[in-house]
Amino acid sequence: MAIRKSIYYWKSDRPHTAANTQASPHDTRMEIEQQLVSYLTMHFGNGDFTITPAGGQGNHITYFLFQDQNKYFVRLENGPERDDYMSVESEIMHQVRDVNVPVPYIHVTDISRTHVPFAIQIMECVEHEDLNMAEKRGDLDTISIAETLGQYVARWQAIRPAKFGLFNPEVLMKDARLEGFHDTYPQYFLLNWNVHLDYLTRSGFIQEAKATELKGLVEDFLPLLQLEEGCLVHKDLALWNVLGENDKISAVIDWDDAVSGDPMDDLALLGCFHSGEVVLSAIRGYEKERILPSNYEQRFWLHLLRNIIFKSVIRVKGNYFDKSELFFLSNPKQKSLKKFTLGRIESAVEGLKGCKSIDEL
C-alpha cells in the first residue's frame, strides 16, 4: 500500500489526522496488551517476561519488555491507515548503524498483521533520557551536542537512496533497497505545500498576503532544488529524538519520517527549535565530515521555511499552543510557542531575502 506517496510529513498529512494511537479506552488497551503478550510468547516462548507501558508522545503505542536480564523497547502501529513504514525505518536504522551513527539495534520488525492487528517493532532499549529533558533543566552542553549531531548528519548523508521523498515499502520488500516515491526533489518539496498554506490561512494562523509572499519566495528559489540525487534525511531531527547524557549522544531515534532529500534539510530542522549559535555549531560538526553544498545558506533558509510551515500545521491541528508546560515542545526559554513559531517563519523569509544570516537566528 502506497499510503505515504501523497504524504509530505506523517503528522501533518496522514489520512486519519485525528486518529489517536496513544490513549485508548481501558478495554481496548487491555485487549492490545493481551494480543501483545500472545505475540511475544510466540517469539520468547513461555518463559517469564513482563511488559509495562513506556508512555511517550509520538506516533506509536510503546512498551518496555523485560525478559530475563534483558530490557527491550516495543513500538506498536495500530492506526487505521495500516501504515507499513516500520519496515522502511528498520532498514534505515540498519544502514545508519553501518555508517557509524549510534542507533538502537532492531530485533524484530513485523508489519504483516498476521498474528496481531498491529505492526510491531522490538528494539534495544537505550537506558538514557532524551536530551530535550536535559536542555529544559539547563544541564545540556547544547553547543557540543549540536556539533556531534552535525557530524552524524554528514555521516548518514553517505546513504544515497534512489529518487526522492518518503520511501516505497513495496520496493524495499521486493528489491531490498530504499527508493523514494518521487522522481524529482521539487515534486516532494512542493507536495501539499499549497494545502499546508491554505490550512494555515483558513485557521487564521497566517494572513493570505503572507501565504502569497511565501509561495512567491519558494517559486523564486526553486532552481536550488534541482538535485541530481538525494541523501538520507532524518526529517525529525530534534533533541527529543536524541538519547544521551549531558555531553554525550547515545542514540539517534525515531527514523519513521526519514526521506531522501536535500543535504541542508536536517540542519534546517535544528533551526526550527534552536538559535543560530546552535545551528552554526552543527554546521561546524558537519564540515568535519563533509563539504557543505553550494548555496548552503539559501538552501538552509528555504528548508527552514518548508519545515516550519508543516510544523505549524501540526501545531495548529493539535492545539499545541494551548498545551501545558509539561508538553514536550514547551520550553521555559520561550514565553509563547505560537510567537516563536511565527518568528521562525519571518526569520526564514528574511534569510531568503538576504536580510538575515544564520548567526542572527
pLDDT of residue 45: 72
How does residue 264 score in pLDDT terms, banded at 50, 70 and 90? very high
Phi-psi region of 175 (alpha: psi -120 to 50; beta: other; left: phi over 0): alpha
pLDDT digits (tens, 9 = 90+) for 172-214: 999 999 999 999 999 999 999 999 999 999 999 999 999 999 9
Domains of the chain, earliest start first: 3-11+21-124 (3.30.200.20), 131-360 (3.90.1200.10)
Distance CA 306, CA 288 (A): 27
Q: Residue 150 pLDDT more than 80?
A: yes
Please compute the mean of the pLDDT values over residues 162-180 and round it to a whole number.
Answer: 97
Q: Residue 99 pLDDT more than 70?
A: yes
pLDDT of residue 320: 85
pLDDT of residue 27: 54
Q: Residue 146 pLDDT more than 90?
A: yes
Mean pLDDT score across all residues of the chain: 92
Please compute the mean of the pLDDT values over residues 134-145 and round it to a whole number.
Answer: 94
pLDDT of residue 324: 60
How does residue 333 score in pLDDT terms, banded at 50, 70 and 90? low
107 vs 17 pLDDT, higher one? 107
Strand partners, 76: 61, 120
pLDDT digits (tens, 9 = 90+) for 33-81: 999 999 999 887 766 889 999 986 667 899 999 988 899 999 999 988 9
pLDDT of residue 18: 54
Please compute the mean of the pLDDT values over residues 86-92 and round it to a whole number.
Answer: 97
How does residue 21 score in pLDDT terms, banded at 50, 70 and 90? very low
Closest CA to 237 of 96, 54, 78: 96
Q: What is the pTM of this model?
A: 0.94
Q: Minimum mean pLDDT among 55-59, 108-112, 153-157, 210-214: which range? A: 55-59
Cβ–Cβ < 8 Å for 231, 160: yes
Q: Residue 19 pLDDT more than 70?
A: no
pLDDT of residue 325: 61
Q: What SS3 class is residue 71?
A: strand
pLDDT of residue 20: 46
Q: Residue 147 pLDDT more than 70?
A: yes
Q: Residue 302 pLDDT more than 90?
A: yes
